[in-house]
Amino acid sequence: MNDIEIAQAVSNVLSRFTKTTSDTAPEAVSEIAQATGGDTLDAIVARALAQAPSKAPATAVQSPACEAGNGAFASMDEAIAAAVLAQVQYRHCSMQDRATFVQGIRDVFLQDAVLQGISRMAVEETGMGNYADKLTKNRVAAQKTPGLEDLVTGALSGDSGLTLTEFSAYGVIGSITPTTNPTETIINNSIGMLAAGNSVVFSPHPRSRNVSLYCVELINQKLAALGAPANLVVTVTQPSIDNTRSLINDPRINMLVATGGPAIVKTVMSSGKKAIGAGAGNPPAVVDETADIEKAARDIIRGCSFDNNLPCVAEKEVIVVNQVADYLIHCMKKSGGYLLCDKQLIRQLESLVLNEKGSGPDTAFVGKDARYILQQLGVSAPEDTKVILIETEKNHPFVLHELMMPVLPVVRVDNVDEAIELAVQVEHGNRHTAIMHSTNVEKLTKMARQIQTTIFVKNGPSYAGLGVGGEGHATFTIAGPTGEGLTSARSFARTRRCVMVEALNVR
């Protein structure tokens, strides 16, 4: 490369780390070009970054407003700048380095004291879910989130040579995390995104601020101890809607991953960037006359009550063939269901847990346990109560809208075909999760084909689809709207083709 070409290359690289290419003065580029000698381009870039003006990442990382070493920054601009610089440095780490860093994150969150601490903090700070199930979810996120093993190289050889298809990093990923699964999503996404070679900027929900910052701090401390580049995983000290908006609009962010409701998913999908959207679900559970009714009842109650119904995969309504409906309800009551029959109490419950428009949940009751909700109605339920059962018509708001609380409507139908048809309707095309209890293979197949959900659990609790008691990897970013499905490391990587022509084919 001659001096002019080197200067142009440096200018192009610097443009990725500043808001505009004009932030780097022409004189500075000229001086770099004159001083290059025989340096490599990497060395030139490193020196140029160090010489960049106040808007450049190197200065932002050293800002006195930042708490050095814990990954939390005073502004989203500083957080992104730090992650950009970290990603440049991360490119020089080996695959073994990546594997070491990923294992380090697993090790941190598999410590009993840490698991217990973040699970308790999440419940106390958000007021949602329950400690025992948070513990399970955090553990499975650390244990069963795929790492580098998910990035399998493809190879094709023939007379024309050898072609490799490999997974490479996108760069800097912006990850928007929910209040329903704050710690699980940070653990899950950190492992997958770092395994794929990215750095990540988290924008947590403000109502889960403290526990989210604590998770990021634990990750940074471990990565520092392992010699990783600083600030591979960062966030802001004061999460907010404005900070999330800044993350979405910042040109230095190469990919957006949003786990949350329809509004945030729609926003990232319209950002013009590569986006993964994990949106809402309304999973129906169908029970036909061939099912093991006692087991189906246990599984439905366990799945619906898991973390007080916060997971989007959890059973949100039951559609049962009338022939076995009475026995199913009886068995669900034995398994922890409380059947609310009084019509006046049911109307009071509707007013209590639905929003003013009746179009969704009142957020004050999302993730609350069943006994707490019943207490607001003046009902004293047994200590083992896990779910509130209500028989409803198919057009009831409890059936049509995802509540994310252990209130489970039960709808009777005449036959399994009608049950499947209704399940498809109330799932609303979210393509998220559905459950069916049946021993009729033909009908199981029919429902799977018609409902087209990302997860379809047969004869088990919904959480088996997350790898809890079922085969397969764990994720808390289930991307139905954008089609990635159960995300893993390869979801956060782009494919690249490397071709050797007429060589290395040794067959």
Beta strands in 97-184 (DSSP E): 154-158, 161-169, 172-176
> pLDDT digits over 255-312, tens only?
999 988 888 888 999 999 999 998 889 999 999 999 999 999 999 999 999 999 999 9
- CATH of segment(s) 81-279+488-497: 3.40.605.10
The three-state secondary structure class of 435 is: strand
- Whole-Å CA distances, 373 to 340, 377, 380, 407: 12, 7, 10, 9
Cα–Cα distance measured from residue 504 to residue 157, given in angstroms and rounded to the nearest whole number:
8
What pLDDT sits at residue 69?
A: 60
- pTM of the full predicted structure? 0.84
Return left, alpha or beta for 499; rule: phi > 0 is left, psi -120 to 50 is alpha, else beta. Answer: beta
> pLDDT digits over 498-507, tens only?
999 988 888 7
List, in sequence order, the alpha helices (H) in 306-368.
322-334, 343-353
> pLDDT digits over 375-433, tens only?
999 999 999 999 999 999 999 999 999 999 999 999 999 999 999 999 999 999 999 99
> pLDDT digits over 89-107, tens only?
999 999 999 999 999 999 9
φ, ψ dihedrals at 222, nearest 5°: -70, -45
Mean pLDDT, all residues of the chain: 88
List, in sequence order, the alpha helices (H) in 145-234.
182-195, 209-225
> pLDDT digits over 149-195, tens only?
999 999 999 999 999 999 999 999 999 999 999 999 999 999 999 99
Bigger pLDDT: 69 or 472? 472
- Whole-Å CA distances, 16 to 64, 83, 316, 443: 24, 12, 45, 54
What pLDDT sits at residue 66?
A: 35
φ, ψ dihedrals at 49, nearest 5°: -60, -40
Cα–Cα distance measured from residue 440 to residue 379, given in angstroms and rounded to the nearest whole number:
39
- Topology annotation, domain 284-477: Aldehyde Dehydrogenase; Chain A, domain 2 (3.40.309)
Q: Does residue 20 surpass a pLDDT of 90?
A: no
The tokens describing 289, both together, are: 């006359």
**What's the CA dihedral at 389, 450, 425, 488 to 10 degrees?**
70
Percent of the chain residues topping a pLDDT of 70? 86
Average of pLDDT values for 434-452? 98
Bigger pLDDT: 493 or 40? 493
Cα–Cα distance measured from residue 264 to residue 278, given in angstroms and rounded to the nearest whole number:
9
What pLDDT sits at residue 387?
A: 98
Residue found by looking up tokens 């084909």 in the block: 449
pLDDT-based confidence at 57, cuts 50/70/90? very low
What pLDDT sits at residue 279?
A: 82
Cα–Cα distance measured from residue 239 to residue 205, given in angstroms and rounded to the nearest whole number:
6
Q: Does residue 27 surpass a pLDDT of 70?
A: no
